[in-house]
A and B are shown apart, each in its own frame.
Chain A
Amino acid sequence: MIYVIDHQDSFTWNVVHQFRKFDKVYCSNYFNVDYKILNSSETIVLSPGPGAPKDYPQTSKIYKNFKGKKKIIGICLGYQQILYNEKGKIIQQKNIYHGYQSKVKVTNKSKIFKKNKTFKVGRYHSLKLREPFNSNSLSITMRCSKTNIPMAIEDTKNKIYGFQFHPESFLTENGDFIIKKILSN
């Protein structure tokens, strides 16, 4: 079972339907989490959403509670929430990407995807990770081929994964493949 925590986004149900291709999915609002179902889920997905990670202390708490105990996948805001809880700084960027299709490239840090493989992906984000970002466990595993902005993270030991882009967007090619890989890892 996969538990999707919805940060009241207008893309969340695309995420739910994408994950339903691979497993049972339960979805609820971030302020209305059913802990019984959450406890019995193997995977937690932190949805995209408006605002910044600091606006969602409930989700940060869940992340800290379940880190290392369950697989955690973050998308867009969810990805930023993971980084924020791992001492990353989430900042505004000069150019804003809402509804853009960009190419991302797999870095040599990925243990799941082939190095230098590129994907065309859909982006909706005002904020990004400030670099340099140093972490013992998290690696930046994809970057925008043009701007080099971090686009994906992996921590295979704790089974934590995140995407700044939207694998569920119609702008993302091979989105299902990316999710399938992460879920089977």
Chain B
Amino acid sequence: MESLYQSDEPLIIYKVENGYNIYTHFSKKIILTNRNINKFFKSFNKKKYNKETDLMIGFFGYDLLCNLIDLKTVNQKKSSFYKGIFYKPETIIKIRDNIKIVSKLKHKKLKISFQKTQVSSPFKMNIKFPKYQKIFDYFSRKIRQGETYQIKICTKYRNKSKINPINFFWKLMKVNASPEAFMIRDKDYSIVSCSPETLINKKGSNIFTKPIAGTLKKNNGLDKKKALKFFKNNIKETKEHNMIVDMERSDLSKICKPGTVKIFKKKFVEEYKHLYHYVTLVKGQLINKIDLKDIVKSMMPGGSVIGCPKIRTLELLNNQENEDRNIYTGSFGFIKYNKDMRFNIIIRSILNYKNFSEISAASGVVLDSTAKKEFNENYIKAKSLLELYK
């Protein structure tokens, strides 16, 4: 394992319920574009699922997802980073209480090339507070006019650095082993993420989504029961949560059989090492023979990190932002050859590419908040990632 970590072999680590899966020995790599994405979805129609490694794992970037629902991001300075990449693994290493390897490949010789983390410039934010305040006020007006009910402003931290993503990932897992955490290390880029949010979990015709709206930092006086009480009594958290639940019900209804979309578990608290999340589990039963593309189009980009209603809010965001979001608010996950899938929402993530690291964070504009508070909230969200560079 250590030699795999220290090699230059591309690999992906994904958190599973009781451990981690490492996917490696990729036999295929598909770089997605607006042009080939339809072909990518269609390719699953011909595939047969025989063994555990029969899946494609990777990510859809934000821009690609917007394009799928016919939204253009014309004001954004385009980055040269990939819009999406999927890999076909030949080996899965399962880290549970013990380690199990699923592979048909013989032991492969690995080239050792250890990457040290090097930081050559401090982090800089793309939006300073006065600019943030301006956007906040503009969006507040839009809420008053009924153009959007909730909208999230994204800020980005960048520095010049090389990182060791595996080192970063395990360090991060020690403090925050979030349920949708993952890491990708490829030859020319890496992603390290402690995403907390499951966007799609599909098995057969059953699909569920588990939106998070509401986060509370842990402290000594707090327990799960008290956290739930806090969320229930907090009007701001409650109404944001309500909105996301109705939105996710609607997104699921678009692709599910009438009458099957149900709130399975309403407004409960999930406990993590440093925080509590306020979540709801919504389930549905997919329409027969629905296309993968329609599922992705209906659910992505995940509503809880965008705002509501999704289309108009995305238009407002895309008109206002002038930088490419890259992976941020895209989705990472896998599609099995039997079309089962699992996808998260890419937030709380580091993208390292061409010797630059970027970390994005977003928080919501709602009328009973202030620009200062939400601006600071963005910093709090990025903090555990920024600290890895120290």
Contacts and interface: CB of A to CB of B under 8 A. Distances in A.
Contacts of B38: none
A17 B253 contact: yes
Contact of B143 (A11, A20, A77, A126): A126
Contacts of B145: 51-52, 92, 126-127
B362 interface: no
Interface residues of B, number: 37
B238 interface: yes
Interface string B234-264: 0000111111011101111110001101010
B46 interface: no
B251 A20 contact: no
B56 interface: no
B312 A50 contact: yes
Interface in B336-382: 366-367
A73 to B, nearest CB: 18
B261 to A, nearest CB: 7
Contact of A17 (B147, B239, B258, B309): B258
Interface string A1-39: 000000011111110110011000000000000000000
Nearest to B258: A20
Interface string B258-273: 1101010010000000
B303 interface: yes
A117 interface: no
A11 B303 CA distance: 12
B24 interface: no
Contact of B308 (A10, A17, A92, A171): A10
B32 to A, nearest CB: 25
B249 to A, nearest CB: 5
A13 B254 CA distance: 6
A105 interface: no
Contacts of B367: 96
A7 to B, nearest CB: 9
Contact of A11 (B147, B150, B250, B259): B250
B146 interface: yes
A169 interface: yes
Contacts of A96: 143-144, 367
A124 B149 contact: yes
B146 A122 contact: no
Contacts of B251: 10, 13
A171 B261 contact: no
Nearest to A27: B254
A49 B309 CA distance: 7
Contacts of A77: 146
Given A21-B258, A51-B146, A99-B241, A14 B309 contact: no
A169 B246 CA distance: 6
A98 interface: yes
Interface of A: 8-14, 16-17, 20-21, 49-52, 77, 92, 96, 98-101, 122, 124-127, 166, 169-171
The 3 closest A-B pairs by CB, nearest first: A99-B239, A13-B253, A126-B146
Interface of B: 143-150, 238-243, 245-247, 249-254, 258-259, 261, 263, 266, 303, 308-313, 366-367
Given A10-B309, A125-B146, 6 more contacts: A10-B251, A10-B308, A99-B149, A99-B246, A170-B245, A170-B263
